[in-house]
Amino acid sequence: MTTAIELDQVYVRLGGHNAVCDATLVVDPGEFVAILGPNGAGKTTLLKAILGLLPVAEGGLTVFGHPPRHSDVRVAYLPQRRNFDPGVRIRGSDLVRLGLDGHRWGFPLPFLDRRTGAAQRVRDAIERVGASSYADRPIGEMSGGEQQRLLIAQALVRRPTLLLLDEPLDSLDLPNQAAVAALIDDVRREGSITVLLVAHDVNPILQYLDGVIYMAGGHAICGSPADVITSETLSNLYGTPIEVLRASDGRLVVVGHPEPPAVHSDRHEHAH
């Protein structure tokens, strides 16, 4: 069986320095894997390399046994996201539709729709994420959780086998984080999709994870959550004492995270 994603001593350079450094890891088909780590650790860069948006400087990177191809239809990507501005007066369902055929030339004409199955595919994807009741409202008027569900529908409408999500839970409140995490897991099981998800906080997705990739300064270690998120492994990765505490409800708390303060301001810009 071919692996979904395989990295062998991969280096990715970004603006003159190694954003990903000697990363070796394997993700099997159908697995739910989280990429964790502080800001600036190279998480998004790793995703972009897997997408074929950034070139691999050294080492071997394969997606389903082949080098990554830009705009591969089997790979769907949810970029790290700010919310849509309230003034964006485009219907949610139109946004989902753009995920299906937005890359094709031409102009969207409603009367050409009836002959193709495209409209049905869009409805199915929206139904799948439970957004049917509000999908025809302007996307800018929706809540963060509603927007995120429609963006997942937009990714699913291409019927991918690999789903890459960059911090999809970040702009959501806690109940919505749990609901969207459960939805992603559902979608993965139902469609045997491999899911790679960049997260800031492992707790909302911890119960669904098959593996984690922990990154620090471009270096990555991967394994099961129980093996990787430990005081010893993380202390080795960061080269500084790190303590992993387990709360009584099973939640993990990582203490002593070296968060580079400069990157924080950058994150706020994205949040707008």
> Contact residues for other proteins (CB under 8 A)?
51, 53, 70-71, 77-81, 84, 88-91, 94-95, 98-99, 101-110, 138-139, 151, 154, 266, 269-270
* b/e code 221-244 from CB counts within 10 Å (16+ = b): bbeebeebbbeebbeebbeeebeb
| Cβ nearer to other proteins, comparing 9 with 143 | 143
What is the nearest approach in angstroms of other proteins to the Cβ of residue 249?
35
What is the nearest approach in angstroms of other proteins to the Cβ of residue 50?
11
| Cβ nearer to other proteins, comparing 257 with 270 | 270
Residue 176 token pair: 């919505």
DSSP for the chain, written as a single string = ---SEEEEEEEEEETTEEEEEEEEEEE-TT-EEEEE--TTSSHHHHHHHHHTSS--SEEEEEETTB---TT-TTEEEE---PPPPTT---BHHHHHHHHHHTTSSS---GGGGGGSSHHHHHHHHHHHTT-TTTTTSBGGGS-HHHHHHHHHHHHHTT--SEEEEESTTTTS-HHHHHHHHHHHHHHHHHHT-EEEEE-S-SGGGGGG-SEEEEEETTEEEEE-HHHHSSHHHHHHHHTS--EEEE-TTS-EEEES----HHHHHHHHHHH-
| Cβ nearer to other proteins, comparing 4 with 228 | 4
What is the nearest approach in angstroms of other proteins to the Cβ of residue 66?
17
Residue at token pair 């019927």: 159
| Cβ nearer to other proteins, comparing 92 with 225 | 92
What is the Cα–Cα distance from 21 to 201, expressed in whole angstroms?
Answer: 23
What is the nearest approach in angstroms of other proteins to the Cβ of residue 162?
12
| Cβ nearer to other proteins, comparing 78 with 229 | 78
| Cβ nearer to other proteins, comparing 71 with 236 | 71
What is the nearest approach in angstroms of other proteins to the Cβ of residue 72?
9
What is the nearest approach in angstroms of other proteins to the Cβ of residue 164?
9
| Cβ nearer to other proteins, comparing 142 with 229 | 142
Give me the amino acid identity at 165. L
| Cβ nearer to other proteins, comparing 140 with 223 | 140
What is the nearest approach in angstroms of other proteins to the Cβ of residue 223?
28
What is the nearest approach in angstroms of other proteins to the Cβ of residue 81?
8
